[in-house]
């Protein structure tokens, strides 16, 4: 058994630290696959075959082994797992001295093997789970039959409303290294489910090393608005938890709800889109959703028709080609964010009120727009934000 071969030397290394006698492990064919005496590895151990046949302890004293090849005095015991004999443990030494250790070491090795198989089984289950989550999110039209099989395997309801929560946990290299060293992957998923108060129908998995996705179920459409109200509070809670694990630079977004699992890929794309916009716009909270007006405002310029943006850009060309455009743009955006209040905007910009007025007048001269007019200011604001966004993403 290949897994047993890989497991053998780990066992030998661990057990030899606490046992004062040499030991060996043989597979079900009687071949030594692990030993504290390295030169014995790979050789056939005849007593192991006898132990496997009898399926019980066999003692080998000096008298019994005198005509046997590759056999040392001691005791050999069968190793069982899931009611099957999978190999033989040999403890080398005077039989009367090693016998008291036999039962204890046998149980220790079997427990270690059981734990190894369990971990492998859990890892395989997690990989299958992650692969399927990736499939339903990345496939344009997921196969309903595959979805049904997956839901049956993991006891998850398909026909249930869900929305996607996307968590970006930052630096890929650092996260990968920590996952190898500390095995924190499962811990991060558990914290995510706990923060967002998930039930057993929620799907939570890693998409990539730096991204976690949560597909959270909903009872009904009204429940979604309640979830979004709680989303920012829960996201902050998760960010705080991750920071205690020395994971910072965290961003979290949420898409809109979809009626079933096979359609939740649309919610994922929305969450991915708003997260990208949030990064570009540098929204301080790092939490983005369609329920958040700041997020929507940052996204608005991106939803303008390309032709409209081109037409407005031509009209505003004198402003955009002016050498002072970056300063004028920053001034005007802050003026809008200050509810067109000159005193408030000047204070935020750390400039004199008259300096701000001068800059606004310069904008009016270059654009023929009235910065005191709400309608004119909306057009100019969207145009400037669109330009700024393109500059940041390029």
Tell me, yes or no, whether 129 lies in a domain: no
Query: Among the three residues 61, 86, 119, which one is the final residue of a domain in this structure?
Result: 119
Tens digits of residue pLDDT in 355-364: 999 999 999 9
Tell me, yes or no, whether 187 lies in a domain: yes
In this structure, the answer to whether residues 166 and 225 fall within a common structural domain is yes
Tens digits of residue pLDDT in 112-154: 888 888 888 888 888 899 999 999 999 999 999 999 999 998 9
In this structure, the answer to whether residues 231 and 351 fall within a common structural domain is no
E runs forming strands in the chain: 23-26, 32-35, 58-60, 74-81, 84-92, 162-168, 203-208, 211-217, 251-258, 287-288
Q: What percentage of the chain exceeds 70 in pLDDT?
A: 93
Residue 325 has pLDDT above 60, yes or no: yes
Tell me, yes or no, whether 132 lies in a domain: no
In this structure, the answer to whether residues 322 and 214 fall within a common structural domain is no
Q: Which residue has the higher pLDDT, 212 or 390?
A: 212
Confidence of residue 2 (pLDDT cuts 50, 70, 90): low
Tell me, yes or no, whether 134 lies in a domain: no
Q: What percentage of the chain exceeds 90 in pLDDT?
A: 45
In this structure, the answer to whether residues 314 and 284 fall within a common structural domain is no
Confidence of residue 278 (pLDDT cuts 50, 70, 90): confident
pLDDT (average), residues 209-237: 91
Residues in the chain: 394
Beta bridge partner(s), residue 164: 215
Residues near 8 by Cβ (< 8 Å), separated by ≥ 6?
25, 33, 34
In this structure, the answer to whether residues 149 and 279 fall within a common structural domain is yes
Residue 392 has pLDDT above 70, yes or no: no
Residue 144 CA to residue 4 CA, distance in Å, equals 39
CATH number for the domain harbouring residue 110: 3.30.450.40
Tens digits of residue pLDDT in 170-192: 766 666 676 665 578 889 999 99
CB 70 within 8 A of CB 26: no
Cα angle: 381, vertex 382, 383; to 5 degrees: 90
Write out the residue range of the structural domain in which residue 80 sits: 2-119
Query: Among the three residues 279, 299, 319, which one is the final residue of a domain in this structure?
Result: 299
Q: Coil, strand, or helix at residue 310? A: helix
Dihedral over alpha carbons 361, 362, 366, 368 (to 10 degrees): 0
* Averaged confidence pLDDT in the chain: 87
Residue 345: what pLDDT? 95
Number of domains in the chain: 3
Residue 285: what pLDDT? 77
* Chain Cα centroid distance, residue 380: 40
In this structure, the answer to whether residues 112 and 149 fall within a common structural domain is no
Residue 48 has pLDDT above 80, yes or no: yes
Q: Coil, strand, or helix at residue 277? A: helix
| Burial per residue of 23-37, b for 16 or more beta-carbon CB atoms within 10 angstroms, e otherwise | bbbbbbebbbbbbee
In this structure, the answer to whether residues 281 and 322 fall within a common structural domain is no
Cα angle: 177, vertex 250, 204; to 5 degrees: 75
Query: Among the three residues 299, 319, 353, which one is the final residue of a domain in this structure?
Result: 299
Q: Which range has the worst mean pLDDT, 47-56, 131-140, 195-204?
A: 47-56
Tell me, yes or no, whether 324 lies in a domain: yes
End-to-end CA distance of the chain: 54
Tens digits of residue pLDDT in 81-103: 888 888 899 999 999 999 999 98
CATH number for the domain harbouring residue 329: 1.10.10.2840
Using CA of residue 234, residue 236, residue 237, residue 241, what is the dihedral sign? Answer: positive
The secondary structure of 3-63 as a DSSP string is HHHHHHHHHHHHHHTT-SS-EEEE-TTSBEEEESSGGGTTSB-HHHHHHHHHTS-EEE-HH
Residue 393: what pLDDT? 59
In this structure, the answer to whether residues 187 and 334 fall within a common structural domain is no
Number of neighbouring beta carbons within 10 Å of residue 239: 20
CATH number for the domain harbouring residue 202: 3.30.70.270
In this structure, the answer to whether residues 214 and 277 fall within a common structural domain is yes
In this structure, the answer to whether residues 241 and 318 fall within a common structural domain is no
Tell me, yes or no, whether 127 lies in a domain: no
Number of neighbouring beta carbons within 10 Å of residue 134: 15
Tell me, yes or no, whether 339 lies in a domain: yes
In this structure, the answer to whether residues 219 and 318 fall within a common structural domain is no
In this structure, the answer to whether residues 295 and 308 fall within a common structural domain is no
Tens digits of residue pLDDT in 342-383: 999 999 999 999 999 999 999 999 999 999 999 999 989 988
pLDDT (average), residues 308-327: 87
Tell me, yes or no, whether 244 lies in a domain: yes
Residue 264 has pLDDT above 80, yes or no: yes
Residue 318: what pLDDT? 92
Q: 223: exposed, middle or buried (C-beta count within 10 Å: 0-12, 13-18, 19+)?
A: middle
């Amino acid at each position: 058994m290949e897994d047993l071969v890989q497991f053998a030397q780990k066992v030998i290394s661990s057990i030899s630290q606490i046992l004062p006698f040499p030991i060996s492990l043989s597979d079900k064919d009687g071949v030594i696959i692990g030993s504290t005496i390295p030169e014995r590895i790979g050789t056939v151990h005849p007593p192991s075959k006898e132990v496997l046949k009898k399926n019980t302890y066999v003692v080998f004293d000096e008298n019994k082994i005198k005509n046997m090849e590759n056999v040392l005095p001691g005791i050999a015991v069968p190793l069982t797992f899931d009611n099957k004999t999978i190999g033989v443990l040999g403890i080398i030494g005077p039989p009367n001295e090693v016998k008291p250790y036999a039962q204890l070491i046998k149980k220790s090795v079997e427990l270690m093997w059981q734990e190894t198989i369990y971990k492998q089984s859990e890892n395989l289950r997690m990989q299958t789970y992650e692969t399927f989550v990736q499939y339903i999110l990345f496939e344009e039209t997921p196969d309903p039959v595959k979805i049904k099989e997956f839901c049956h395997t993991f006891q998850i309801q398909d026909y249930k409303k869900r929305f996607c929560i996307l968590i970006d946990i930052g630096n890929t290299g650092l996260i990968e290294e920590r996952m190898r060293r500390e095995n924190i992957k499962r811990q991060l998923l558990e914290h995510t489910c706990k923060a967002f108060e998930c039930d057993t129908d929620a799907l939570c998995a890693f998409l990539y090393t730096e991204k976690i996705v949560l597909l959270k179920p909903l009872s009904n459409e009204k429940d979604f608005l309640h979830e979004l109200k709680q989303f920012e509070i829960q996201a902050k809670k998760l960010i705080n938890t991750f920071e205690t694990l020395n994971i910072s630079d965290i961003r979290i977004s949420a898409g809109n709800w979809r009626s079933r699992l096979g359609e939740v890929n649309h919610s994922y794309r929305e969450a991915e889109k708003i997260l990208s916009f949030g990064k570009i716009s540098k929204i301080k909270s790092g939490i983005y959703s369609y329920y958040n007006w700041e997020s929507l405002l940052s996204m608005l310029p991106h939803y303008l028709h390309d032709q409209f943006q081109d037409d407005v850009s031509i009209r505003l060309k004198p402003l955009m080609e002016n050498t002072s455009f970056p300063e004028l743009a920053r001034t005007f955006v802050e003026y809008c964010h200050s509810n067109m209040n000159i005193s408030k905007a000047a204070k935020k910009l750390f400039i004199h009120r008259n300096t701000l007025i001068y800059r606004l007048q310069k904008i009016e001269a270059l654009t023929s727009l009235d910065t005191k007019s709400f309608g004119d200011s909306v057009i100019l604001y969207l145009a400037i934000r669109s330009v700024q966004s393109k500059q940041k993403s390029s």
